[in-house]
Amino acid sequence: MTSRWRTIADMQLRDLTRRRVALALLVGLPMTWYLAEAAAGVGYAVGTGVLAMAWSAAAAPLFAVVGGRNVDQRMLQAGYQSRDIIIGRLLALYACSFAIALILGIIMVAGSHPARTDEVFVALGLTVLVSTSVGWLIAALVPRELEGTLILIGIVGMQVSIPVSGTASLFIPYYGPLRLTDYESTPLGPSGPIIHAIVWSILIGLAALALWTRRVRVWPSSIPVA
């Protein structure tokens, strides 16, 4: 039924809001990173906030997908389709991450007064798209949250060491958002970074969904016989 994805979205949102400590960390971490850099007078404070948002937006699907793996299998056995789980969970995750990104964007614009205000919000939106795919892919690869969190820290941390003005930056998923917030480089129109981020989010997302579908697939031998 078409309403099943709504049920999944509602369940996922309820699960996220019940994890109050985790939700507070998802909200507080990007704010803390940005405010610490802004208070220190660092010129790249907005970029740091975007990177912190990358971690937050990827951690949410990581915890949601790993934590819901057994539930997903039971729902498939109950007659739900994979697309119902995917659509419902993505909508819930996007709603949560975009809300955090909007609040963070308002704080960064008010605190740093960037020259291109609109590109700050575009960068945060692109970050949410890419990170949701990244978090789901990591969750499909690892058995537990601990391993996934360590991998996520490594991926986000690696972005700091790669200059966004070099050729190598084109091969990192977060080039688009970081390029839009790199005010020391020559100003660049948003079309290139937007296309780059969307393409990366789609490619990573397809890989994540393929691996996730295989992991939660209900094999015939696992279905109880009446």
pLDDT tens column, 52-80: 999 999 999 999 999 888 888 888 888 88
The pLDDT score that the predictor gives to residue 112 is 87
Asked if residue 225 is part of any domain, the answer here is no
The pLDDT score that the predictor gives to residue 171 is 78
Given a cut of 50, whether residue 10 has pLDDT beyond it is: yes
Asked if residue 183 is part of any domain, the answer here is yes
Three-state SS for 18?
A: helix
Asked if residue 15 is part of any domain, the answer here is yes
As for how many domains the chain has, the answer is 1
Give the pLDDT confidence of 119-169 residue by residue, as tens digits.
Answer: 999 999 999 999 999 999 999 999 888 899 899 988 887 777 666 666 666
| Residues in the chain, total | 226
Confidence tier at 223 by pLDDT (50, 70, 90) = very low
Asked if residue 224 is part of any domain, the answer here is no
Tokens 């699960």 belong to 15
Question: In angstroms, how far is CA 141 from the centroid of its own chain?
Answer: 16
Rounded percentage of the chain residues whose pLDDT exceeds 90? 39
Asked if residue 60 is part of any domain, the answer here is yes
DSSP designation for 41:
T
Asked if residue 23 is part of any domain, the answer here is yes
The pLDDT score that the predictor gives to residue 101 is 95
Question: In angstroms, how far is CA 95 from the centroid of its own chain?
Answer: 11
d(CA 162, CA 181): 14
Domain of residue 180 covers 4-218
Asked if residue 55 is part of any domain, the answer here is yes
Given a cut of 50, whether residue 21 has pLDDT beyond it is: yes
| Tokens read off for 217 | 């697939």
| Tokens read off for 138 | 């990591």
Asked if residue 63 is part of any domain, the answer here is yes
Tokens 């610490």 belong to 36
For the chain, the average pLDDT equals: 85
